[in-house]
Amino acid sequence: EAVYFEDESFTTSCRRIPNERWNDTYLMWELLYKNGWPDENIHVLYGDGKDYEIRNPRYQAPFPDKDITDTSAYYHDVVDIFNALASGDPDAGIEPMGPKDNLFVWTHRPGWMAAALRIVDISDPTNPQEVGVVYLPRGSGSAYSATIKDNYYYVAMGQFGIWVYDISDPLNPERIGIIRIPGWVLNLFIMGNYLYATTWSGFAVVDISTPPGELVNYAYCSSSTFCIDGFEGWFGEPDGSKIEYLAVSHASYICYLNVASDPLQPSLIGRTERPFGPWQGVEAAGRYTFTTGFLYKTLYVDSLWEKAGEMGVESIASVSMGNVCFDMEKKEDYLLVGCGNGITVVDVSSPRDPQIITSLSLGNKSHHLLLERDLLFVANRKGGLRIIDVSDPQNPYEIGSYTPSDEREVSDVDLYRNYAFVLTRPWNLTQVDEISYLEIKDDLIRDDVFANMINEITCHRRVFWFQHDFSGGFVDNLEDGKTVILTACDYNEFAHIADDKRSDGSSYIENEEWQPGDICYHGEFNFHVMNAVRQTEIWPYDDPPPVPSDLDGNRHTSMWEAFQWVKENDSRPETPQYSDPGNIGPSTYLVWDDFKPPAPPVVEGYYFTPVEILSQPEEEAVGCVIRFIPNTEPDFSGYRMYKDGELFIDTHADSVVFPIPEFVPGTTYVYTISGYDVYGYESEPKEFVIRLPLYIAEKENYDERLCMDYDHLFSYDDAYSLVFQSDVHTPYGHSSYLSYLESQTGNSWRRHEILSMGHHPSLAFSAVSPFIPPIQPVEIPPYGVYTWNVAFLVRPSGSSYLYLKGLYSTNYREPTATGWDTVTLASCDVSQAVNGYPSFKYPTIYTQGMYVHLVFEDIFPGAERLRYRKYYRDWSPVGDFEDIPIICDKPSLTVDMSGIPHVAVVHNDKLYYSYRSSLGWTEGVEIYDHAEDVYLSTVGDKIYAVWTYGNDVYWMEGSLSNPDPLTRWKGVRKISRTRPVKNPKMVQGMYIVWEEGGEIVLADTTAEIIFSTVSPTLKKTPHVVWPGNDSLYLVWIEEGKYIYIKPEKVKIPVVPALYSISVGESEPSPFTLARDGYIEYASGVRVDYGNDSLVYLLPSLLTNSGYTVELVFYHESSGEWKEKIKLDGRKARVVKVKAGVPETVRVEIPYPYYKDDGEVRLSITRKKGDYVSIASLKVYKSRKKGPSVGGPQFSTSGGLAEIFDVRARSVTSSLVLEILYQGDCKIEVFDVAGRRRSVISEAIDGRKDIKIELPSGAYIWRVRTADGERKGKVIILR
């Protein structure tokens, strides 16, 4: 719970003070509110219970219909809130605090040092003894003077009004009330049932007939009133009139008031002018009144007169006193005057000729005098209470004295019975002990009383921030081992408003002028301590600079750290105090403790950068930078990373950098990450995988740039190949190289190999099936052979010729290129180039079956053409060069399963398309009127075009069954984005990747974002392949302090089919061998139908993979039909199909059916029903077939995932994992803190149970194989 109390100033017209207090009150509330404290746990006691009205919207409550102030700041409000926190208040919805709760208290109202009322036994005036004490607050003008009537003691308490004590038991005075007086009360005088008081701004009349009394009249004066005395008796001789009058001193005159006729409305008798005061002594004695001046060291005598019923006053005499004068008492014909060093006796038997006759030195100022018979009691300030025998006024002498033990000075004395009530206060507003007061709206709270209220509250920790004056005096009453206290000043100092200066005296904005002439003020201490905890400055509002107060870097400023900041930056004459006996300040924060761990961390992205090797500072290594999405929980502190169960990194930053111990391209490092809060709660661990770059450009002595502008990435199963261009700029010139990378798993890559000098490379990587005739007279193994082809441009140094060349490599055992052969495909004299451009551009290749298809730009002076040629895998030409009748520009090439090439180009923002039919290339047609980058791909009997324009990604689907190059395309779909997009790629007609504003985005065709990068590096030219499982493999170029090729495996929500064969269209698919037509039912479902049978060809089935065909049967006639499914003429199964109900059937294709020719004929024959119909036909790749060791792993673009499953169960003290898999696996078990408790490597042959003994508790298990991983959570019981 947090409690603030602050009272608006009600005695000053200075707008700065309440402005300052409200601004800091608001900032304090805001600080806690933004640190997670619920508003119902923040209790703001301010003024009369309403927010301060301020023009600046910065300091206005953010709620539309609610103030931040909860209640007023009267004494009873403070008592109520502390009682509620101690014992609960159901009506207010406050529960009592308990041993886990934390209490924070903040104050910003003036505080005061302590004055005291000393009760001194004077029954033996020669030996006065102190017998009691009552502490009072001491401010400017407070505890200044007092007076007694009957059993009541009245004290002038300055701005706090008049405090009234019942002294019927003189040893135990009890305060019974406060009489509020406008202004600062200075002096009191009682006449009858009325108390008259002077203030800085006026004159008050209080009815005290019923104690404590009630203010009945107040008159504002043009100048301050100081001293007051009165006379009640006869005016002149015994036969004169009876009068009651008051003599009141002002700054420059003495005012005489007649109170006889109406005590509530005294009438003016007259006044006498004086030099500018203050006039500190007034003694009214019958007709004559004596006044003394503090500055002018003069005694003046005034005389009242009466003529014809009218009264007046005149000044009749004066005498120089030679010393400052204060109070006076008259004894007989003598005036006893308190002076700067004692007592002076003046003979006033002749008022018009006063004469000084003697003096008594007391060594200090005689501030107040009280005459009781023959004894004069002198409040002698630093000299204490002095008792003087004045039985012979001409020979006064001291008979006794009393000095307070705490050395406070004596300012006033009054008598009651045998006791002297002695007011003492610190010298010159300087505190002499640690007794202090906090001012609230209607009262003051002494430090020990405040502590007693607090100590009734049960809590875990307590924090106090005190801005009030003399706040250091609260420390000794509150400090203990569970408490941290920060105060603005010491017990004997004022706290100050901010002074717009740094501690070195230089200018620094602390009180912001938010608009011309309108300044928002702050307390000096509050300004710095709040800035420290906020960790930002107050001004400017929109972008405040940071405050480096978090010394240990844990995101939060502890109370100890806050005080260090204040101590260093406070520039006012105040000494901030810090108390922390239990040394809990370094671990105590003003942030809400929710007693639960934070959410697990979310990684925004990671990238790579050079880092210094600590053991070898002169060398650099590859470093990884991980960036977390900032956790907004108020108490969040930092992140922990674990490697193999051991703590690896502990950081408070939202990013972390660390060196990579061994750089193996494409390798994955698995870490466990967690978040923790400032109170030590740690989140559930979360696995995070880092995949190393495939290549990092060298930048030590030159600038190396990477380029992947064309088709560079290919895969079959988990075998990958990549070619890229590396441009090296040195002081001696520019060179371009082609580099090759490969991987057999995708989890690690072989280091790059330079293939040749050159540029504009295009790669094709595939597997040749055993049923395809070999190019060379060699025996092809039953599981096929891998082949690689690269086309590129090169201009040898010093040559005028540009060459289009081809590279190829073959491997009969595994997907590793073991040697490369080079073939020249074309050449031209560069001297014929147009406008300095080379004569060849953008060679692009695509492999299908045993052929390689090549397209490139061929540019000669005055002529540009797009050329095509078909080759065998060894670059032996199949036919001649052909011109494609389409506008010449950068081409996108794809080849469908029938071996037909398709080309698209973008020229002048228009998209053109052509394909090679059996009759030759079709005339290029415009298929869309605004486009930038285009990419073509085919899946089964569908063709897809994806392109970008501005901030939008477009795509279309085309049917290969329609021979018209224009009408085969269906409607355009668009994905709108907010940033420019380019370089799109599409996979399996389902997923699209593109470059967007320097980031990479992957989405499905419904625009659902599946993956996107976020990091400060620039990313470009993404490439993507589908290896045939539940992931996509992406690579792109990333530029930061390094330039590198970044890989990423991304899980996809839906595994695509290898391909589908279109049904229900007017034109049959190229793979439809027999059908009678198509039907569109009333429901909108479209089907192929045959009166007796339907027949389809399923091509492109590689011998190293297994396949499943998925069929959806449907009809809307009546009854139940039966259909017989056959594969290559052999029966597979019979299916029953109910009317209006789709029936989905999956049939595994036996390996012998396609091992010789790579294709299967699927037939569906009617057994019962009107006809046979089918609504969907898809082919999925399932399990791998063939040799498991040494042979290649083929794939075109696969389907269903490998059979790999894990079932976990708990038995007594053990975890049992039932693993279904064929191959090697790695088993790891972690506890919930991320520590690895067990690791096992096993070879699984179909199925195996793994038993792991563990102590009772919660664990996370993970099983990794070459086909992926499975993981889960289990609880072990004994």
For residue 1221, list its beta bridge partners. Answer: 1246
| Spatial contact of 682 and 675, defined as CB atoms under 8 Å apart | yes
For residue 615, list its beta bridge partners. Answer: none
Cα–Cα distances in angstroms (integers) from residue 1145 to residues 334, 540, 757, 1166, in the given order: 129, 69, 53, 16
pLDDT tens by residue, 1248-1263: 889 898 887 788 888 9
Characterize the bridge pairing of strands 1176-1184 and 1059-1060: antiparallel
| Spatial contact of 44 and 70, defined as CB atoms under 8 Å apart | yes
The whole-number pLDDT of residue 1201 equals 33
Helix and strand numbers (H, E) in the chain are 6, 92
Q: Which CATH architecture has domain 112-429?
A: 7 Propeller (2.130)
| Spatial contact of 991 and 975, defined as CB atoms under 8 Å apart | no
| Spatial contact of 1009 and 1001, defined as CB atoms under 8 Å apart | yes
The whole-number pLDDT of residue 520 equals 93
DSSP codes joined into one string, 1003-1070: EETT--EEEE--SSSEEEEEEEE--SSSEEEEEEEEESSSEEEEEEEEE-SSPPPSEE---S-SSPPT
Q: How far apart are CA 1052 and CA 1003, in angstroms?
A: 10
| Peptide bond just before 1053 cis, omega within 30 deg | no
In the chain, the percentage of residues whose pLDDT exceeds 70 is 91
Cα–Cα distances in angstroms (integers) from residue 253 to residues 198, 265, 270, 1165, in the given order: 14, 20, 10, 128
The whole-number pLDDT of residue 142 equals 66
Cα–Cα distances in angstroms (integers) from residue 365 to residues 125, 344, 362, 385, 981, in the given order: 21, 12, 8, 11, 89
The whole-number pLDDT of residue 776 equals 47
Q: How far apart are CA 1113 and CA 1138, in angstroms?
A: 9
* Low-confidence residues of the chain: pLDDT under 50: 8-14, 236-238, 774-778, 1185-1202
The whole-number pLDDT of residue 279 equals 65
Phi and psi of 1001, rounded to 5°? Answer: -125, 135
The whole-number pLDDT of residue 1195 equals 26
Cα–Cα distances in angstroms (integers) from residue 1156 to residues 115, 784, 940, 1150, in the given order: 111, 11, 21, 12
| Spatial contact of 449 and 473, defined as CB atoms under 8 Å apart | no
Classified by CATH at the fold level, domain 603-691 comes out as Immunoglobulin-like (2.60.40)
CATH of range 1059-1184; options 3.90.650.10, 3.20.20.210, 2.60.120.260, 3.40.50.300? 2.60.120.260
| Spatial contact of 940 and 990, defined as CB atoms under 8 Å apart | no
May I ask the CATH class of domain 1205-1276?
mainly beta
The whole-number pLDDT of residue 777 equals 45
pLDDT tens by residue, 1091-1126: 999 999 999 888 778 899 999 999 999 999 999 999
Say which amino acid occupies 208: I
DSSP codes joined into one string, 1081-1104: -TTS-EEEEESSEEEEEE----TT
Count of other CB atoms within 10 angstroms of residue 484: 28
Say which amino acid occupies 713: L
Cα torsion for 584, 587, 589, 594, to the nearest 10°?
Answer: -110
Candidates 694, 682, 831, 833; CA nearest to 753 is 694
Q: How far apart are CA 1087 and CA 160, in angstroms?
A: 96
Three-state SS at 309: coil
Residues sharing a CB contact under 8 Å with residue 505, sequence separation 6 or more, in sequence order: 571
Neighbour-count burial for 567-604, b at 16+ CB within 10 Å, e otherwise:
eebbbbebebbbbbeeebbeebbbbbbeeebbeebebe
- The CA angle 318-322-323, to the nearest 5 degrees, is 110
The whole-number pLDDT of residue 143 equals 77
| Spatial contact of 1034 and 1024, defined as CB atoms under 8 Å apart | yes
Cα–Cα distances in angstroms (integers) from residue 1162 to residues 674, 1061, 1197, in the given order: 53, 11, 21
The whole-number pLDDT of residue 417 equals 94
Q: How far apart are CA 647 and CA 843, in angstroms?
A: 51
Check residue 30 and report its DSSP letter.
H
Q: How far apart are CA 55 and CA 925, in angstroms?
A: 68
Say which amino acid occupies 226: F
In this chain, the answer to whether the domains covering 1059-1184 and 1205-1276 adopt an identical fold is no
Say which amino acid occupies 204: A
Candidates 897, 903, 970; CA nearest to 940 is 897
Q: Which two structure tokens, joined as six digits, stand for 772? A: 């395809």
The whole-number pLDDT of residue 713 equals 82
CA 990 to chain centre: 38
May I ask the CATH class of domain 2-109+441-587?
alpha beta
Domain boundaries, the chain: 2-109+441-587, 112-429, 603-691, 1059-1184, 1205-1276
CA 986 to chain centre: 38
Q: Which two structure tokens, joined as six digits, stand for 1135? A: 């299916």
| Spatial contact of 740 and 817, defined as CB atoms under 8 Å apart | yes
Q: Which two structure tokens, joined as six digits, stand for 1058? A: 């290898």
Length reported for the chain: 1278
| Spatial contact of 228 and 282, defined as CB atoms under 8 Å apart | yes
